[in-house]
């Protein structure tokens, strides 16, 4: 069973049709919309500031979402995929974004709508990523606009697939 832990008077709040894997952890000042999924080993820790998700956000295996004490909450829009082993910390992720596997997005960053942060990239503190751009590297640098094939073939496909995957677990009664 997932760990859903109230802390300091704040209890996590979930929309409808969310999936939490048995080893996922959600703590404190957290709120999400409908159709979100939290996969094995993922941690969403709203202990030192708030974390807010829109609808249809997936936090994949071993990813961590945190915030910064007295400085930066974490805000994640709709239709966002946070890849395996990624870290999203004290930042804003707008709608229709893919944060690749093992990527890190640091404090006070804004990842604009329709962006892709490539696997293994590090978006350094305070960086503002223009909407619809592709970023890669350490530190992450703009590669150019997200091609239509990646927007449809990756951002949309992955978000939709995680809706499908979570339905398999719900059908098995593993909710």
Rounded-to-integer distance, Cα 58 and Cα 165, Å: 11
Rounded-to-integer distance, Cα 149 and Cα 34, Å: 27
> Could you tell me the CATH number of the domain that includes residue 74?
2.160.10.10
What mean pLDDT is predicted for residues 141-147?
Answer: 97
HEC readout, the chain? CCEEECECCECCECCCCCEECCCCEEEEEEECCCCCEECCCCEEEEEEEEEEECCCCEECCCCEEECECCCECEEECCCCEECCCCEEECCEECCCCEECCCCEECCCCEECCCCEECCCCEECCCCEECCCEEEECCCCEEEEECCHHHHHHHHHHHHHHHHHHHHHHHHCCCC
Q: How many domains does the chain have?
A: 1
pLDDT in tens, 89-109: 999 999 999 999 999 999 999
What is residue 5's predicted lDDT score, i.e. its pLDDT? 98
Q: Residues for the chain: how many in total?
A: 175
The domain of 126 spans 3-171
For the cut 80, the answer to whether the pLDDT of residue 168 exceeds it is: yes
Ramachandran bin of 108, using left for φ above 0, alpha for ψ from -120 to 50, beta for the remaining angles? left
pLDDT band at 66 (very low <50, low <70, confident <90, very high): very high
pLDDT band at 123 (very low <50, low <70, confident <90, very high): very high
What is residue 59's predicted lDDT score, i.e. its pLDDT? 98
User: pTM of the full predicted structure?
Assistant: 0.96
Q: Report the 10 Å Cβ neighbour count for 69.
A: 10
Is 12 in contact with 4 (CB distance < 8 Å)?
Answer: yes
Query: Nearest CA to 60 among 91, 85, 35?
Result: 85
What is residue 171's predicted lDDT score, i.e. its pLDDT? 78
pLDDT in tens, 26-36: 999 999 999 99
For the cut 70, the answer to whether the pLDDT of residue 174 exceeds it is: no
State in Å, rounded, how far the first CA of the chain is from the last one.
8
What is residue 64's predicted lDDT score, i.e. its pLDDT? 98
What is residue 106's predicted lDDT score, i.e. its pLDDT? 98
């Amino acid at each position: 069973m997932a760990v859903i832990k109230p802390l300091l008077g704040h209890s996590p709040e979930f929309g409808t049709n969310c999936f939490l894997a048995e080893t996922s952890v959600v703590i404190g000042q957290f709120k999400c919309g409908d159709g979100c999924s939290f996969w094995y080993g993922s941690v969403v820790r709203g202990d030192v500031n708030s974390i807010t998700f829109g609808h249809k956000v997936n936090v994949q295996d071993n990813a961590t979402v945190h915030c910064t004490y007295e400085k930066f909450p974490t805000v994640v829009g709709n239709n966002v995929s946070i890849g395996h082993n990624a870290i999203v910390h004290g930042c804003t992720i707008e709608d229709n974004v893919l944060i690749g596997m093992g990527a890190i997005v640091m404090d006070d960053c804004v990842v604009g709508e329709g962006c892709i942060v490539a696997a293994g990239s590090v978006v350094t503190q305070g960086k503002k990523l223009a909407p619809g751009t592709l970023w890669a590297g350490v530190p992450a640098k703009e590669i150019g606009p997200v091609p239509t094939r990646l927007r449809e073939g990756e951002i949309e496909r992955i978000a939709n697939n995680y809706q499908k995957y979570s339905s398999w677990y719900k059908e098995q009664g593993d909710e």
